[in-house]
Chains A and B, each alone.
Chain A
Amino acid sequence: DAKTTQPPSMDCAEGRAANLPCNHSTISGNEYVYWYRQIHSQGPQYIIHGLKNNETNEMASLIITEDRKSSTLILPHATLRDTAVYYCIVRFPGWAYGQNFVFGPGTRLSVLP
């Protein structure tokens, strides 16, 4: 499975958009991009996933570049409750369903008042 690279930490002002980048330059054509976040002392929370097209839900937007080598998770109006570690995961859904869902160290987002 493709590895991902994320900045270790980012800050964002409350009420502003938080743009979290993820590099996955070795992604293959049928690997999906997933984003999760983990607030202290809780389990990871699923945010969004996509293959090629940009995706949006009530939590966030996922922008995937045309060459699929990178993506950005956008939280449109960050609040203090969005302070968490954000994980970008690239996964092929065909087999090894557990082994290929690999979490890296993620990006620690701090939303500042």
Chain B
Amino acid sequence: DTGVSQDPRHKITKRGQNVTFRCDPISEHNRLYWYRQTLGQGPEFLTYFQNEAQLEKSRLLSDRFSAERPKGSFSTLEIQRTEQGDSAMYLCASSWISGFSPLHFGNGTRLTVT
């Protein structure tokens, strides 16, 4: 399968713990995006990378959230001191560098904070 891969698929953690998610994009894609989706809502943009550079951040991305893409390939999203409001599906997407190229999404990591 050459699609976007996310790991883990599910994560249950206790409030206050740190969690890290990984995303492996489609290998030829330069751009990588993180979105968050809560129940019954559409995905909401969090941040975007072009190669290893983080070029956009949403105001949804509080200082407890950090994303990296150190070698321009896979990316990690870390949430520190998790809160119950962080419970959501975290989606990763990738695309070609062309501006109108569609985003291709992975199947997400579902985070539950207890």
Decide if A98 touches B42 in the complex (CB within 8 Å).
Answer: no
Decide if A102 touches B45 in the complex (CB within 8 Å).
Answer: yes
Chain B interface residue count, Cβ-Cβ cutoff 8 angstroms: 30
Nearest chain-A residue to B56 (Cβ)?
A98
**Closest Cβ of chain A: how far from B28's Cβ, in Å?**
15
Interface of A (DSSP majority class): loop
Query: CA of A93 to CA of B50 in the docked complex: distance in angstroms?
Result: 14
B41 at the interface (CB under 8 A from A): yes
Decide if B103 touches A94 in the complex (CB within 8 Å).
Answer: no
Query: CA of A91 to CA of B45 in the docked complex: distance in angstroms?
Result: 14
Could you give, for residues 1-21 of chain B, a 1 whenever the CB lies within 8 Å of some chain A CB and a 0 otherwise? 000100000000000000000
Q: Which residues of B contact A102 (CB under 8 A)?
A: 45
A76 at the interface (CB under 8 A from B): no
Q: Chain A interface: which size bin? A: 20 to 34
Decide if A43 touches B91 in the complex (CB within 8 Å).
Answer: yes
A54 at the interface (CB under 8 A from B): no
Nearest chain-A residue to B105 (Cβ)?
A43
Q: Which residues of A contact B33 (CB under 8 A)?
A: 97-98, 101
- B48, B56, B100, B106: the one within 8 Å of A43 (CB): B106
Decide if A97 touches B48 in the complex (CB within 8 Å).
Answer: yes
B31 at the interface (CB under 8 A from A): yes
**Closest Cβ of chain B: how far from A29's Cβ, in Å?**
14
The segment from A10-18, A44-52, A59-67 found at the interface with B is A44-52
Decide if A34 touches B107 in the complex (CB within 8 Å).
Answer: no
Nearest chain-B residue to A47 (Cβ)?
B102
Which of A's residues lie within 8 Å of B, judged by CB? 32, 34, 41-46, 49, 51, 87, 91, 93-94, 96-99, 101-106
Could you pull out 6 A-B pairs where Cβ atoms are within 8 angstroms? A34-B102, A41-B107, A46-B105, A98-B33, A103-B43, A105-B42
A44-B93, A46-B105, A105-B42 given; name 4 further pairs at CB < 8 Å.
A43-B108, A44-B103, A99-B48, A103-B44
